[in-house]
Structures are given as structure tokens and as C-alpha cells.
Amino acid sequence: MPLPSIWLLRSSLICFLISTIIGALILSSKVITIHPAIWSLLPVHFELAIWGWIIQFVLGTAYWMFPKKLEGERRGNPLVATVMVVLFNAGLILLILSNFTETISLQLSLSGRSLITASILIFAFLIWSRVVTYRNLKH
């Protein structure tokens, strides 16, 4: 398994655990008194579940399992893949932080979404040429 996939998958598992714990606290707060601020974590619960867990897990698995190139770097430039991982997770962190501040919330969420968009574009660039079949290749 390549390193960028390992990082994406490990990060997705961490996001999954945090999101589940927040979700469990929110669910529990419906029947017992927990801190009222727990409900303000609802957007964090969503972002971590959808972007942090599901999408990041799919990115990591696709980067690992899609057909590899026959020539050159088998999965594309590994440095570019590393940049993709860093941008995605930096964007996710900014997006999460935007929920905890009112003064620079908009700037943080815009920056976070921009970094995630850039990361997805890099992913598309890396994976596009690997959406192939070698079944009809003449040896």
C-alpha cells in the first residue's frame, strides 16, 4: 500500500472515531443533560463524517487500488500525491476550526474549502490516467 493511501486512510479512521464520539454525545444529550454547547458541534460531526471519513477513505482506497501505469511512476508523481494529502487535511482542519470562531469563521471556511477543492483537483489529475483497462493490451 503506498504511503499517501496510508496517510489518507489513517486520517479518515481518526476522523471517523472523532465524528462518532461527537455523534454519540449529541445523541446522549437528547436524554441526559450534557453541556449545551455540544449541539454547536453538529456541523463538525457532519464535516468529519462526510469529508473526513467517507470521502477521504474513498480517495485513499482509489489511489491504492486503481490500475497502475505501465511506464514511469506507477501511481503518478508521489510528491504530487503527498501535496494532495496535505492540502486535503489542512483544508479539513481549517473547516473544523471555522466552527469554533466567529470573527474569522468565513475566512477559515473559505480557505478550508479552497484547499479541499485544490486537493480534489489534484486527485482527479492523478487518477484520470489510471481509469483504464489493460485487458485488450497486445503483448
Partner 1 sequence: MPKVTRWFIKAGILYFIAGVVLALLSEVPGVKAAPLLLPVYWHMLVMGWITQVIMGVSIWMFPRKHRDRKKRESLLTWLAFWFLNTGLILRFLAEPFIPVIQQSTSITVVILLSSILQVLAIVFYIAEIWPRLMQDKKRKRS
Residue 30, Cβ density class (10 Å: 0-12 exposed, 13-18 middle, ≥19 buried) = exposed
Q: How far separated are the first and last CA of the chain, in Å rounded? A: 27
- 16 contributes a contact to partner 1 by CB under 8 A: yes
Binding of partner 1 by 33 (CB under 8 A): no
Instruction: Pick the binder of partner 1 from 41, 44, 51, 53 (CB under 8 A).
Output: 53
**Cβ atoms 41, 29 nearer than 8 A:** no
**Segment contacting partner 1 by CB under 8 A, of 19-27, 83-91, 106-114, 118-126:** 19-27
Q: Which residue, chain included where needed, has cell 486520517? A: 11
Instruction: Return the range that interacts with partner 1 (CB under 8 A); candidates 24-32, 78-86, 92-100, 106-114.
Output: 24-32
Buried b (16+ CB within 10 A) or exposed e, 121-131: ebbeebeeebe
Binding interface with partner 1 (CB under 8 A) = 1-3, 5-6, 9-10, 13, 16-17, 20-21, 23-25, 27-28, 30-32, 49-50, 53-54, 57, 61, 65
